[in-house]
Chain A
Amino acid sequence: KNEVEQSPQNLTAQEGEFITINCSYSVGISALHWLQQHPGGGIVSLFMLSSGKKKHGRLIATINIQEKHSSLHITASHPRDSAVYICAVARSNDYKLSFGAGTTVTVRA
Chain B
Amino acid sequence: NAGVTQTPKFRVLKTGQSMTLLCAQDMNHEYMYWYRQDPGMGLRLIHYSVGEGTTAKGEVPDGYNVSRLKKQNFLLGLESAAPSQTSVYFCASRRPTWNSPLHFGNGTRLTVT
Contact = CB atoms under 8 A, between A and B. Distances in A.
Contact of A44 (B33, B45, B104): B104
Interface residues of B, number: 24
B42 A42 contact: no
Contact of B102 (A2, A4, A33, A41): A33
A4 B99 contact: no
Contacts of B33: 96-97
Interface string A93-105: 0011101111000
A105 B28 CA distance: 34
A4 B41 CA distance: 12
A88 B102 CA distance: 10
A43 interface: yes
A14 interface: no
Contact of A99 (B43, B48, B99, B105): B43
Nearest to A46: B101
B104 A42 contact: yes
Interface string B83-108: 00000001010001011011111110
Interface in B47-75: 48, 50, 56, 58
Interface of A: 2, 4, 30-31, 33, 35, 41-45, 48, 50, 86, 88, 90, 95-97, 99-102
10 contacts: A2-B42, A31-B99, A33-B101, A45-B103, A86-B43, A88-B102, A90-B98, A95-B48, A99-B44, A101-B42
